[in-house]
Amino acid sequence: MRHWECLARQDIIGVGHLPLPQPFFLDILPMARNTKQPGNQFAANRGEGDRLQKVLAAAGIASRRECEKLILEGRVEVDGETVTEMGTRVDRHSQQINVDGEPLPRTKLVYYAVHKPPGVVCTANDPSGRPRVTDLLPPGLGRLFTVGRLDMSSEGLILVTNDGAVANQLTHPRHGVEKTYQVQVAGHMNYQALAQAQRGVHLAEGFVQASNIRIKSKRKNSTLLEMVLDEGRNREIRRLLARVGHKVQRLIRVAVGPIRLSDMPSGEFRRLTSDEVTKLRSAAKTPSKRPPKSRQATLANRQRKRSAVAGKKTAAGRPSATSRKNPGHAQRGRRGTSK
């Protein structure tokens, strides 16, 4: 007899001595409360701190994937206790973290501005052996992060740091840190194409637009533009301008937030000043001015685009006003066309 049936019968017929079966989960609840698994003491506080494997990788222990293996193998301790659970969050500044019994080294945070030349890649590891941005910096700096990327044929300012938190904030669209570019395109761009680039276009991965775009000068067969973007996608500027009818001939990033490229020679680097680091951190914490696009707004934009395309097809299939007034004329025209 089910537990609720017993309760119902007790209320209906007044059987006070009817034995009621105890739900099974009451028997195992004390055992579940007393169960203590390795690493759970840290997993309870998942909303604070950084993931343990991320902290280890930022300290230069190994790559993030290799750090995950170290955790699973039980070689990492936090405050004297072994942690084997993935996703555990820790605070490096207030907790003692050891790997193979050795304390995690306290790395000094460094911030560099690099003028990336064409032909250099921004990836941390390149199987093809191409020159990397980090190869332009002095050796012995440990694990470094590039703030955003420039494709191989582009050039300009790249920020490099071992501060993973700041690097993530600077690249996340939520903060909307603006990047400024000088772009030379083929042909003379008119103001209709300029307005279209600022209104935005649809690419395969979503809607993209420039925060600001203006014509700096016009040359014999090209136009020099200044563009400002607050998010970055793969080859976004080249694809955006190609959609409005202009091929990019040269692309230089001249600023990231408050940091300017200025007159730094190509292939050179410099260390950011303390004042620049303070401004950079402030820019990284400032939320984006552009409101985030909801899923409903994205779907509405797609529906409007489909409706516009459907309207053009319908209009193309309608007979003209002349043919409606003079059907015989339209019929003769169609017979003439078929010949």
Of 246, 226, 257, 46, nearest to 148 by C-alpha is 257
Of 134, 145, 143, nearest to 168 by C-alpha is 145
Residue bearing tokens 């012995």: 140
**Distance from chain centroid for Cα 254:** 21
Q: Return d(Cα 83, Cα 68) in angstroms, integer.
A: 11
Contact of 104 with 98, CB cutoff 8 Å: yes
Active site residue 11: no
Please pick, among 50, 100, 135, 151, the residue that the annotation labels catalytic. 151
Contact of 260 with 113, CB cutoff 8 Å: no
Q: Return d(Cα 14, Cα 12) in angstroms, integer.
A: 6
Strand partners, 195: none
List residues with catalytic annotation: 151
